[in-house]
Amino acid sequence: MAVPPTGTFTGYAAIGENEDLEQVIYDISPQDTPFMSNISRGKASNVFHEWQTDALASATADNAAADGEDASTSTATPTVRLGNYCQIMTKTPRVSGTLRATSTAGRADEFSYQVAKAGKELKRDIESAFLSNNAATAGSATNARKLAGVGAWLWDNTVTSGTSSTTVTVTSGAPLTAPTAGTALAATETNLQSLLGLIWDDGGDPTTVMVGRFNKIAFSAFTGVATQYRESKGMKQGTILGASDMYISDFGEVSIVANRFQPVGNAYAFDMDYWEASYLRPMQNTPLAKTGDSDRSQLLTEVTLTARNPSSSGKIYTLTSS
């Protein structure tokens, strides 16, 4: 091994060398929120946000009246009143005065950096709550209110293994119990077609199916994706859609979308027109009073999920996820 000549002053002994720290912070944490990004945004005016649904009477082929018959009164049915609780979500970053005065790499001010980071985290929390199996919780002086997630709202059009309990208790229009998982199903094209058919029977027109990572791979292997052909503007005749996210079903085209923030064992089929993020208090950033040698700020939003008509969508519950 070569040895430096005697007396050579090397970097191993030197003091005062500048650090080589890049002025960039690399963060690949996912920030995409496919559900929130594709539903509408609305306003809530109370902690329990309510809306109404209605349905036409079943069609009959025997609607026939005799010649000269007197008119008979049709039986009216009332609307259905539904509701969901607004959930308060917060993040409170706090940074000491010394750290704010210290030169930091990759950001000019540590406090501003932590506030921006907390805002991104809060957005992910909302997506996770919306897509959860959580039941609605009214809350109390000591317990926080919770909104009912998609998993609790989809009690109507559901494909299960037959041993899963998906019945929820609906009180005052809100699902107050969460669905109970049973024996997991493997993802099959038959189950997906059954789900889309159930929604179609009720009048829904789902355009998006959301699944976790494992089942996104499973759904991509369905023949409806791999072997269907389609002609559309900008595509050559007979273009294969096998590498795309589009699935051609007997009830229309649906996009298969992977979502990192939903329960991995759920597959949701959405008619996005019937879902809304309803804000009692939009996202806000409020500086808090100083109580010592630090700065803190509270990021807060109060929001609920409006399922305008749960029968517009459906789910497969529960799927294998590994």
Q: Which residues form the domain of 164?
A: 34-52+80-315
Whether 133 maps to a domain, the answer reads yes
Q: What is the pLDDT of residue 228?
A: 46
| pLDDT tens digits, one per residue of 19-40 | 777 777 777 777 889 999 999 9
Residue 322 in contact with residue 201, Cβ under 8 Å? no
Query: Which stretches of the chain score pLDDT less than 50?
Result: 226-229, 235-244
Partner residues linked to 276 by β-bridges: 40, 306
How far is residue 61 CA from its own chain's centroid?
41
Whether 14 maps to a domain, the answer reads no
Q: What is the pTM of this model?
A: 0.88
Q: What is the pLDDT of residue 66?
A: 93
Whether 243 maps to a domain, the answer reads yes
Q: What is the pLDDT of residue 239?
A: 41
Q: Tell me, what CATH number does 251's domain have? A: 3.90.1690
Whether 21 maps to a domain, the answer reads no
Q: What is the pLDDT of residue 162?
A: 62
* Beta strands 246-249 and 252-258, pairing class: antiparallel
Q: What is the pLDDT of residue 165?
A: 56
For the chain, what is the domain count?
1
Q: What is the pLDDT of residue 25?
A: 73
Task: Return the amino acid letter for 295.
Answer: D
Select from 317, 313, 316 the least CA-distant residue to 35: 313
Whether 242 maps to a domain, the answer reads yes
Angstrom CA distances, 247 to 51, 229, 236, stand at: 32, 10, 18
SS (H, E, C) the chain: CCCCCCCCCCCCCCCCCCCCCCCCCCCCCCCCCHHHHHCEEEECCCCEEEEEECCCCCCCCCCCCCCCCCCCCCCCCCCEEEEEECEEEEECCEEEHHHHHCCCCCCCCHHHHHHHHHHHHHHHHHHHHHCCCCCCECCCCCCCCECCCHHHHCCCCEECCCCCECCCCEECCEECCCCECCCCECCCHHHHHHHHHHHHHHCCCCCEEEECHHHHHHHHCCHHHHCCEECCCCCCCCEECCCCCEEEECCEEEEEEECCCCCCCEEEEECHHHEEEEEEEEEEEEECCCCCCEEEEEEEEEEEEEECCHHHCEEEECECCC
Q: What is the pLDDT of residue 29?
A: 77
Whether 6 maps to a domain, the answer reads no
10 Å CB burial of residue 191 (0-12, 13-18, 19+) is middle
Q: What is the pLDDT of residue 235?
A: 47
Report the greatest alpha carbon distance in the chain. 123
Whether 145 maps to a domain, the answer reads yes
